[in-house]
Amino acid sequence: MSEVITGTPFLELDGVAIGFGPEKTRTDILRDVNLEVGENEFVAIIGFSGSGKSTLVSLLAGLERPTEGEVRMEGVEVTRPGPRRGVMFQSYSLLPWLSVFGNIELAVKQVFPSFSSAEVRKHVDRYIEMVNLTDACDKAPHELSGGMRQRVSLARTLAMQPDVLLLDEPLSALDALTRAVLQDEILQIWEKEKKTVVLITNDVDEAILLADRIIPLTMGPEATLADAFPVDLKRPRDRRTLTDQPAYQRLKAEITSYLVGLNKEARKLRSKTLVAMPEVKPRDFKLPSMMPGR
C-alpha cells in the first residue's frame, strides 16, 4: 500500500479469496486480495474484462461470501447484502414493469419504512432531479436511452443513502459522449455528497478523473490487487483542463503501460493453461413474425 490509512479502515478486504468448484480442485478467481478504503475516499479498481472485477463488487456488497478471508465494514464482518452498501449494476437492473419513479420508490419505501407517502414522494423527486430526469419521471425503462437508464439506476442507489457506493462498471455500456456527461455528473454529486465510493472500471481516463486512488487488478484466474497509484490531482477537477496537466499525462502513461504489461504476461500464462469456454447459446423465445409490420 502506498498510502497509509490511520485508524480502522471504513471498508476492508482481508486476505480474501473466492473460487468455484470442489475444494480440492478449486479454481480461484480472486486470491489473497487485500484492500482498505477510508471513509469518504473514492477508490477506482481498474482491470481487463474477465479478471474478476464484478466478483470483487459482489464480495464487497455481500452478495457473495469469500471462500477465504473476510470482508469488513467499520470493523464488522459483512455476511449479507444490505442497503448500507448501495450497488449500481452494469446492466442497470431496473424493473421493467415499473416507471422511473416506481423503481426508485420501491427502494425508498423499503429502506425508509417510517417515511410517510408525502416524504417518500419528496425524497424520490429530489434524487430524480439530482440526475436530471424530472421530465422522464413517469416513463418506463424501455422508453429510455441507455444513459438515462443508468441515471435512474444511480438515483435509485443514491436514494437509499448508502454509506458506501459500489459502482460496477456503471458506464461501460454507454457511448463515449453519454459516458463523459455521466462522469461529470457523478463527479459533481460526489464532490457535493462526499461518500465512500468503490468504482470498478476499465477506462483509465475515467479512473483518473474520478478517483483518489487507482488500484489495478491483475489478470485472472487467481487475480489479485496490485499496488495502488495515488491520484494527487487537485479537486474540483475539470475534464477540459485536466488533460493538459503534465501530472495527468504522466499518471495515465504509467497506468497504461502497467496494464499493457499485465496483458502480455497474462497472454503468456494463458497459452499454457487453455481454459475451455462453456457452450452458451442465447435464450430467445421469440417466434418468427407472422404479422405485417414486424
Partner 1 sequence: MEIKYRLLKVIDTAGLSFLSPVVRLAAGEEPRKQLKDIGRWIIVPVFAMVLFGVLWSIIAPRHKTKSGEVPTPAVVLEAWDGISRFHDNESAKEEGFQLTGDSRLAELKQAVARLSEVESLEVAANQRLKEVRESTDTEKLKIIAPFKSAYDAKSNEYRDYRKSSAARLKELGGTLLEKGESERLAYLADMRAVEVKTEELKAERDALKVELEAAEEQTFPDLKEALKASTLLGEEKQFLIKYIDLVGESSREFKLAAAQETLKSSRQEFLTSTEGDLYKLCGNVIKNEKFTETIGTSQYAKPWTLPKQIVRSLFCVFTGFLLASIIAIPIGILCGLSNTFMAAMTPFIALFKPVSPLVWLPIVMIIVGGFMPDPDNHWLIVALAKVPILKEYKIDPMFLSSAITVALCSLWATLVNTALGVGSIDKDHLNVARVLRLGFFARLFKIIIPTALPLIFAGLRISLGVGWMVLVAAEILSTSEGIGKFVNDMYTNGSAESFAQIFVVVFIVGFIGMVLDRIMVFLQRLVSFDTSPAL
The residue ranges that bind partner 1 (CB under 8 A) are: 61, 63, 80-83, 85-87, 89, 91, 93, 95-97, 106-107, 110-111, 140, 142, 160, 283, 286-287, 289-294
Q: Which is nearer to partner 1, 153 or 218 (CB)?
A: 153
Q: Which is nearer to partner 1, 268 or 294 (CB)?
A: 294
Give dist(CA 81, CA 176) in Å, integer.
32
Instruction: Indicate if the alpha-carbon torsion angle 257, 260, 262, 268 is positive or negative.
Output: negative
Q: Which is nearer to partner 1, 82 or 147 (CB)?
A: 82
Helices (H), the chain: 53-61, 100-111, 117-130, 146-159, 176-193, 204-210, 239-242, 246-272
Give dist(CA 267, CA 269) in Å, integer.
5
Contact 180, 25 (CB under 8 A): no
Q: Least distance to partner 1 from the beta carbon of 1, Å?
A: 29
Contact 18, 32 (CB under 8 A): no
Contact 120, 105 (CB under 8 A): yes
Q: Which is nearer to partner 1, 110 or 257 (CB)?
A: 110
Q: Least distance to partner 1 from the beta carbon of 97, Å?
A: 4
Q: Least distance to partner 1 from the beta carbon of 156, Å?
A: 8
Q: Which is nearer to partner 1, 61 or 187 (CB)?
A: 61
Q: Least distance to partner 1 from the beta carbon of 268, Å?
A: 34
CB proximity list for 84: less than 8 A, separation 6 or greater: 73, 162, 163, 164
Q: Least distance to partner 1 from the beta carbon of 292, Å?
A: 5
